[in-house]
Amino acid sequence: MLIRYWMSKPVIAIDKAESMQQAINLMKENRFKLLPVTHKGKLCGIISDRDLKHASASDATSLDVHELLYLISKIKVAEIMTKDVLTVNQDWTVEEAADLMLSHHISGAPVEDDAGDLCGVITQTDLFKATLYITGLKKRGFHLAFVLEDTPGSIMEIVSIIRNYGGRMASILSTYERAPKGYRNVYLRFFNAPRDRIDEMLDILRAKAKLRYVVDHRENRRTIFGNH
């Protein structure tokens, strides 16, 4: 999934000549944790809630409330912004954005197009929304995890069984991470399967694969098969 479809837009940015108080107000009004900083329409920095808290706290012990409010009305965004900005391209995948954010311990990044123009912001919240979409959690169906032999057609055999019971697939994810050699971990989400026949279906599936767990998201019920 490309960032362009999940980033926050249109962009709300602040000019570097604006005051720290204006940045605080803008971030509070929009519930932002980071704000791109521009100069003559071009990205030149970024300001985060951490930057604001650090700047506010630096003199807080020696100033009363009125003095502190006066101070933050005079401090310019350019004085407290982060100048070395990590950006992502709108045609990166959300997984690439997540990797960048995790590696650099940041909560978001400005998004640029191929011309280098600011076109959005990608945040942790945007990544959470994308994850919910790709996994199909909002369907409130079943989540089934199992270890399956890595052979052609093995996943389709499992899917066919679920479909025979009326289930509709919401997502299919698989990985070799933490799986025995020659096997893969597979995670399915499906909905519309009749709940009074789920146990019957699971008995058939257990003859085909090693089940790890099943979660009924609508009823909030979980069954763990063995110690995995």
- Does 70 score more than 90 pLDDT? no
pLDDT confidence bin for 33, thresholds 50/70/90: confident
pLDDT confidence bin for 177, thresholds 50/70/90: very high
pLDDT in tens, 160-174: 999 999 999 999 999
pLDDT in tens, 108-156: 999 999 999 999 999 999 999 999 998 999 889 999 999 999 999 999 9
Pairing of strands 88-89, 108-112: parallel
What CATH architecture applies to the domain 3-132? Roll (3.10)
Greater confidence (53 vs 129) lies with 129
Q: What percent of the chain has pLDDT over 70?
A: 91
pLDDT in tens, 178-207: 999 999 999 999 999 999 999 999 999 999
What's the whole-number mean pLDDT along residues 60-86? 74
Rounded distance between C-alpha atoms, residue 111 and residue 126, angstroms: 12
Q: What is the identity of the amino acid at 165?
A: Y
pLDDT confidence bin for 67, thresholds 50/70/90: low
Give domain limits for the chain. Answer: 3-132, 136-224
Ramachandran angles phi, psi of 153, nearest 5°: 80, 0
Q: What's the sign of the alpha-carbon dihedral 98, 103, 109, 114?
A: negative
Contact in structure between 137 and 189 (CB atoms under 8 Å): yes
**Predicted pLDDT at 58:** 54
Q: What is the identity of the amino acid at 103?
A: S
Q: Retrieve residue 218's tokens.
A: 């609508």
Rounded distance between C-alpha atoms, residue 118 and residue 90, angstroms: 10
Contact in structure between 189 and 131 (CB atoms under 8 Å): no
Give the pTM: 0.80
* Cα–Cα distances in angstroms (integers) from residue 42 to residues 4, 6, 10, 38, in the given order: 19, 22, 15, 5
**Predicted pLDDT at 57:** 55
**Predicted pLDDT at 145:** 96
Does the domain at 136-224 match CATH 3.30.70.260? Answer given as yes
CA atoms within 13 A on the CB side of 187: 12
